[in-house]
């Protein structure tokens, strides 16, 4: 250690470490936030230039709160978040544990395979799933048709081709499936990274004490994973409530028949870029912000109840 | 420790500069002396502009043209952004007809009718409805039309022949169109249309009074309970009842497959669809298609490109931009070149006498289809644009789906649409 | 323990079945990349590789400066990852291990940016970049991204849950400087988190198209996702070429994943607490 170097005192240390990040954040992160907040109180047609903004007080917010489509899209979003998020974590945790213990040489491959959907391009996904779920010729319906022909169990399968994409009732499950497919691998990677930090000795000690695999899972693994679960669930919550890409590409940007696939984010996007109402779109994004923040706070509370000893603060 | 961090940062800086240095070395074109015109466009207009460059150089050898091309939606987003801050604006802005109304109303585009441009002297050169589309309520002409998309009905002669249906039956009236569809379905099993929405779109455009928009009138009153909407919904219901539509969305795999397999008897679209069918959608069906006018004289346009000049650019650039726009839109040679190469139907009336229009089109069995489309171009009416049109379109489509799929009563559906649109009409 | 064996095999089978489901669209992306658009649009779609790969490649190269765009994507993604790893690990460490005034408020503010959709930032971001003179420059893409709320959240979580405070205290008492603690103690323990964040940041930067859309003006400076969109048009999309471009664009991500997964899934971190 060079003694001529200036030593950062402990009290100043956090600020020094945060400086680069915060510097960038204030310029590139905060300004757009404030702009959007300001815009939510204005009426604005962007092609007319910045000067054409007109102050309209709370009217954008009152419009949003009384707008049928706003709440419709929010309900869709909630449904999709739960329907795609819960299975993601229910599957990712056991799977990560299984891969962690069962595969040694093939571990990379196993995780890789599940991670591949995350890196598949959205364009490819759109074409693929559009083709797979096609009513008359899609592979899924063809498969179901074959299954329906089987004796006995064939009866539980639908006899007609299902219209997956254009029927409002079917579109939502399809989207949930795609989102699940896309992100389950992401969560496996997160949990696997966390599993790496649990020392083997604890498991060995537990085995010696006579604990079964299942007991070890519930009493050692899960509690140790708690911070990562909190992280993963928060991300899924935030990501789910802001779901945009998958339904957007599946419905060609319009949210589908009867707006079945229109999430809040898609509606917001359409408000701004299709219906040219930037003021209302900003107001809606802030209403959404409040809702998501509240839900995130509740999640935070739920996970902090019995906080891990290692957690700072 | 700190030294390593500093070293890393320095490396970052060098890494940053390196490509720039390399790039500058590689690119370094000879410095261009004269002015440059930046044209913002999207495929295939970018090709049209690029193809026009050699001819342009002959008249203006010192003016360079730079084409910035983006995907069509991205292009309009970028233009919106540029107009919103009056920064990084192109000299010539390409606009698709769907976005034209909104951009024109925004007030960020030059009025080409002003004395320094004199569009009023030229407007008779263009197809009337295209000029009307570019003209706002206060009479300002915000853009010059470059190409149009006259609506046409493409149909399969072989399927019609097998069903004993004549072309006249097809487009005499909507009712005869639907009846023909029933016959075709019975005889060949083929669908009449790909989706009832196509029919709805055309029918709601008939009988629009001057000054009225599709969904709103000039005072923002909602028009969705007018007879044309009721008729459109009734026709759609009948078509769905007899299962005459394939329920496939345009540009989906099912839609394109139905062309290849001959399970679709007609398609209403812009004239340019014939080119696509020939090139990649269904080349195997060459010679089986013909073009005709839309049923019951339902004249409609499907697309169209315009060129505009933004207000926020320097004055001398504006004059040059206007020269380029005149060159691209008023020069028959350029308009015909775009037609021949990119299937961009000209907006310039003087081209309509060119022998190219009389040429038989092989894919359509040697039919002189361009004459049909030329006729259609003259009859299309421009419809006034309202800010909430896109939203209205969506609402009406949703209500139509409910009528068709859930058996909702037509009047109830239109009432609901009216209610939703009324709330937004004045935003 | 026969039932154990059976359950084990059953789980293996399920995992394998899941793997097939995961891989199918990916497989088809590469299959479609070798077909012309007429083939892709037919039903049933082609199941095996075709012969139009080079043709598609030519179509791509005719439309966009593909390889240059690939180069820019690589450049931006690498720098973005590097900066994000540095800034977020430092910031995450500060949030996790120190107490200071305004800490919670600041963290909430940062997290707040994650709660707003990114496309709403298009116009203000454009204004900032214009004011800085960064339009059409790659730095407009990789510098702002370094202030990643996700990154700092991940780092904070990871640090606070896997690095015990006593370790830091002990080091301080031993006379280690603050930067020394960060560099010698915290960073080495962060390997899995760094690997994860690096991977995710790279992928996010690679697939980002809104950023380049706002900031880049010329086709030469665009990154891949933006450039590939130029192959799309409402009526005339070059599907075959588009799939080929998308497939090629995925390959670096795959390579990166294979490399970093070794980092991620490397053995056990024994004796960390000691």
| Residue B63 and residue B201 share a domain | no
Q: Which two tokens stand for residue A85?
A: 């998020």
Cβ contacts of B313-320, under 8 Å, gap ≥ 24: B313/B89, B313/B91, B316/B35, B317/B35, B317/B37, B317/B91, B318/B91, B318/B110, B318/B116, B319/B116, B320/B35, B320/B37, B320/B60, B320/B63, B320/B91
> A308 vs A227, A311, B29, C164, C217, CA distance in Å?
8, 6, 63, 11, 50
Q: Which two tokens stand for residue B67?
A: 């084409």
Query: Residue B267 pairs with which residues in a beta bridge?
Result: B154
Q: Is C232 left (phi over 0), alpha (psi -120 to 50) or beta?
A: beta
pLDDT the model gives residue B28? 46
> In 3-state terms, what secondary structure has residue B345?
strand
| Domain limits for position A192 | 61-131+168-312
In a domain, A190, yes or no: yes
pLDDT at C272 over 60: no
Among candidate residues B314, B343, B358, the one where a domain is terminated: B358
Tell me the C-alpha distance between C112 and C108, whole Å: 6
* Residue for token pair 């013909």: B290
From the list B83, B107, B388, which residue is nearest A275 (CB)? B388
Tell me the C-alpha distance between C76 and B352, whole Å: 51
In a domain, A218, yes or no: yes
Residue A312: pLDDT band (50, 70, 90) is very low
> A259 vs B323, B405, C66, C164, CA distance in Å?
46, 14, 37, 49
| Residue B399 and residue B265 share a domain | yes
In a domain, A140, yes or no: no
In a domain, A182, yes or no: yes
| Residue B409 and residue B337 share a domain | no
pLDDT at A144 over 90: no
In a domain, B47, yes or no: yes
In a domain, A143, yes or no: no
Task: Report the domain count for chain B.
Answer: 2
Which tens digits make up the pLDDT trace of B61-116?
999 999 998 988 889 999 999 999 999 999 999 999 989 988 988 889 999 999 99
| Residue B219 and residue B132 share a domain | no
Looking up residue A247, the CATH number of its domain turns out to be 1.10.3720.10
**Phi/psi at B150 (nearest 5 deg)?**
-65, 135
Which tens digits make up the pLDDT trace of B17-64?
555 445 544 554 555 678 999 999 998 899 999 999 999 999 999 999
Looking up residue B403, the CATH number of its domain turns out to be 3.40.190.10
Tell me the C-alpha distance between A69 and A271, whole Å: 11
Q: Is C15 on the interface with A (CB under 8 A)?
A: yes
- Mean pLDDT along residues C146-153: 90
| Residue B61 and residue B86 share a domain | yes
Q: Which two tokens stand for residue C37?
A: 């658009």
A positions 191-210 inside 8 Å of C (CB): 192-194, 196-197, 199-200
| Domain limits for position B341 | 32-148+303-358
Residue B8: pLDDT band (50, 70, 90) is low
| Residue B228 and residue B376 share a domain | yes
Average pLDDT, chain B: 89
In a domain, B23, yes or no: no
In a domain, B19, yes or no: no
pLDDT at A159 over 80: no
> In 3-state terms, what secondary structure has residue A24?
helix
Instruction: Provide ipTM, 2 decimals.
Output: 0.83
Q: With CB atoms and an 8 Å threshold, state whether A46 touches B84.
A: yes
Tell me the C-alpha distance between B299 and B301, whole Å: 7
The H or E element containing residue B252 is: none
Residue C229: pLDDT band (50, 70, 90) is confident
Tell me the C-alpha distance between C178 and A15, whole Å: 12
Tell me the C-alpha distance between B112 and B117, whole Å: 5
| Residue B313 and residue B210 share a domain | no
| Residue B153 and residue B139 share a domain | no
* Residue for token pair 């005339």: C236
| Residue B308 and residue B293 share a domain | no
In a domain, B12, yes or no: no
In a domain, B6, yes or no: no
Q: With CB atoms and an 8 Å threshold, state whether C117 touches A285.
A: yes
Q: With CB atoms and an 8 Å threshold, state whether C38 touches B280.
A: yes
- Contact between B114 and A77 (Cβ < 8 Å): no
Residue C271: pLDDT band (50, 70, 90) is very low
Share of chain A above pLDDT 90, in %: 37
Task: Report the domain count for chain A.
Answer: 1
The H or E element containing residue B64 is: strand B64-69
In a domain, B250, yes or no: yes
Percent helix, strand, coil in chain C, to 5, is: 75, 0, 25
| Residue B191 and residue B134 share a domain | no
Q: With CB atoms and an 8 Å threshold, state whether A112 touches C257.
A: yes
Interface partners of A (3+ CB pairs, < 8 Å)? B, C
CB contact set of A17 (below 8 Å; sequence gap of 6+) = C90, C91, C93, C94, C182
Interface partners of C (3+ CB pairs, < 8 Å)? A, B
In a domain, B418, yes or no: yes
Residue B1: pLDDT band (50, 70, 90) is very low
In a domain, A6, yes or no: no
Tell me the C-alpha distance between B30 and C88, whole Å: 44
| Residue B188 and residue B139 share a domain | no
pLDDT the model gives residue C11? 85
pLDDT at C207 over 80: yes
In a domain, A206, yes or no: yes
> In 3-state terms, what secondary structure has residue B175?
helix
| Residue B185 and residue B49 share a domain | no
In a domain, A247, yes or no: yes
Greater model confidence, C40 or B121 = B121
Tell me the C-alpha distance between A258 and A73, whole Å: 11
């Amino acid at each position: 250690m060079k003694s001529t170097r200036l030593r950062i005192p402990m009290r100043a240390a956090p600020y020094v470490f945060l400086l680069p990040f915060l510097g960038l954040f204030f310029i590139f992160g905060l300004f757009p936030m404030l702009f959007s907040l300001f815009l939510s109180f204005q009426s604005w047609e962007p092609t007319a230039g910045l000067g054409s903004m007109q102050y309209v007080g709370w009217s954008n917010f009152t419009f949003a709160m009384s707008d049928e489509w706003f709440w419709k899209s929010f309900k869709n979003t909630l449904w999709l978040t739960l329907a795609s998020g819960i299975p993601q974590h229910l599957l990712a945790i056991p799977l990560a544990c299984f891969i962690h213990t069962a595969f040694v040489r093939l571990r990379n491959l196993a995780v890789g395979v599940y991670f591949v959907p995350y890196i598949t391009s959205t364009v490819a996904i759109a074409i693929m799933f559009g083709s797979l779920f096609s009513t008359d010729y899609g592979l899924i319906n063809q498969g179901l048709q074959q299954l329906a022909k089987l004796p006995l169990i064939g009866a539980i399968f639908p006899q007609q081709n299902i219209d997956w994409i254009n029927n409002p009732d079917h579109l939502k499950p399809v989207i949930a499936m795609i989102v699940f497919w896309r992100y389950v691998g992401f969560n496996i990677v997160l949990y696997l990274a966390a599993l790496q930090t649990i020392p083997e000795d604890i498991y060995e000690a537990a085995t010696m004490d006579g604990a079964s695999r299942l007991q070890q899972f519930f009493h050692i693994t899960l509690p140790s994973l708690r911070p990562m679960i909190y992280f993963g669930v928060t991300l899924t919550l935030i990501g789910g409530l802001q779901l945009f890409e998958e339904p957007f590409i599946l419905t060609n940007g319009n949210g589908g028949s009867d707006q079945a696939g229109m999430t809040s984010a898609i509606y917001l996007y359409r408000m701004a870029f299709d219906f040219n109402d930037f003021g209302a779109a900003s107001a809606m994004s802030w209403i959404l912000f409040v809702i998501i923040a509240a839900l995130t706070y509740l999640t935070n509370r739920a996970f902090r109840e019995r906080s891990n000893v290692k957690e700072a603060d | 420790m700190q030294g390593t961090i500093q070293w890393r940062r320095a490396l970052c800086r060098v890494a940053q500069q390196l490509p720039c240095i390399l790039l500058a070395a590689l690119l370094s074109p000879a410095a261009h002396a004269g002015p440059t015109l930046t044209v913002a466009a999207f495929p295939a207009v970018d090709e049209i502009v690029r193809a026009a460059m050699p001819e342009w150089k002959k008249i203006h050898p010192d003016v360079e043209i730079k084409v910035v091309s983006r995907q069509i939606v991205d292009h309009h987003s970028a233009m919106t952004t540029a107009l919103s801050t009056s920064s990084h604006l192109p000299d010539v802005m390409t606009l698709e007809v769907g976005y034209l109304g909104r951009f024109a109303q925004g007030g960020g585009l030059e009025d080409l009718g002003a004395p320094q441009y004199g569009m009023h002297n030229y407007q008779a050169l263009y197809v009337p409805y295209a000029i009307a589309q570019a003209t706002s309520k206060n009479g300002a002409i915000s853009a010059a039309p470059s190409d149009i998309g006259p609506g046409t009905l493409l149909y399969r002669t072989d399927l019609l022949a097998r069903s004993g249906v004549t072309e006249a039956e097809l487009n005499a009236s909507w009712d005869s169109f639907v009846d023909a569809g029933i016959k075709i379905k019975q005889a060949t099993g083929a669908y009449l249309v790909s989706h009832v929405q196509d029919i709805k779109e055309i029918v709601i455009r008939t009988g629009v009074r001057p000054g009225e928009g599709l969904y709103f009138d000039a005072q923002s009153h909602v028009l969705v309970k007018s007879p044309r909407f009721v008729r459109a919904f009734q026709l759609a219901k009948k078509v769905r009842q007899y299962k005459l539509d394939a329920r496939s969305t345009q540009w989906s795999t099912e839609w394109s497959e139905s062309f290849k397999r001959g399970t679709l008897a007609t398609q209403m679209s812009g004239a340019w669809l014939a080119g696509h069918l020939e090139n990649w959608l269904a080349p195997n069906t060459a010679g089986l298609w013909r073009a005709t006018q839309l049923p019951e004289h339902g004249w409609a346009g499907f697309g169209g490109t315009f060129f505009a000049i933004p207000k926020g650019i320097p004055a001398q650039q504006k004059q040059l931009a206007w020269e380029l726009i005149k060159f691209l839109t008023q020069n028959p040679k350029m308009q015909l070149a775009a037609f021949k190469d990119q299937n961009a139907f000209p907006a310039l009336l003087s081209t309509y006498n060119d022998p190219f229009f009389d040429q038989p089109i092989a894919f359509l069995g040697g039919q002189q289809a361009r004459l049909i489309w030329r006729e259609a171009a003259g009859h299309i009416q421009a419809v006034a644009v309202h800010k909430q049109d896109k939203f209205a379109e969506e609402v009406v489509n949703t209500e139509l789906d409910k009528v068709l799929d859930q058996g909702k009563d037509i009047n109830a559906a239109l009432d609901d649409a009216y209610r939703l649109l009324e709330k937004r009409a004045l935003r | 323990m026969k039932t154990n064996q059976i359950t084990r095999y059953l789980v293996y089978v399920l995992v394998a079945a899941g793997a097939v489901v995961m891989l199918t669209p990916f497989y088809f992306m590469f299959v479609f990349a070798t077909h012309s658009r007429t083939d892709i649009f037919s039903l049933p779609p082609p199941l095996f590789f075709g012969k139009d790969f080079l043709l598609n490649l030519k179509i791509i190269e005719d439309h966009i400066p593909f390889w240059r765009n690939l180069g820019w994507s690589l450049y931006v993604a690498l720098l973005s990852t590097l900066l994000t790893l540095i800034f977020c690990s430092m910031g995450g460490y500060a949030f996790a291990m120190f107490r200071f005034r305004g800490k919670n408020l600041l963290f909430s503010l940062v997290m707040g940016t994650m709660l707003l959709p990114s496309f709403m930032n298009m116009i203000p971001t454009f204004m900032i970049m214009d004011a800085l003179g960064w339009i059409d420059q790659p730095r407009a893409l990789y510098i702002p991204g370094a202030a990643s709320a996700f990154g700092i959240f991940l780092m904070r979580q990871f640090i606070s849950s896997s690095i015990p405070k006593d370790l830091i205290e002990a080091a301080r008492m031993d006379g280690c400087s603050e930067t020394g603690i960060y560099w010698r103690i915290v960073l080495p323990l962060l390997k899995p988190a760094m690997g994860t964040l690096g991977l995710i940041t790279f992928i996010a930067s690679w697939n980002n198209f809104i950023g380049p859309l706002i900031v880049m003006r010329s086709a030469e400076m665009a990154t891949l996702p933006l450039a590939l969109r130029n192959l799309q048009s409402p009526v005339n999309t070059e599907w075959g070429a588009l799939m080929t471009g998308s497939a090629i664009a995925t390959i670096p991500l795959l390579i990166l994943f294979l490399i970093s997964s070794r980092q991620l899934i490397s053995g056990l971190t024994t004796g960390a607490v000691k």
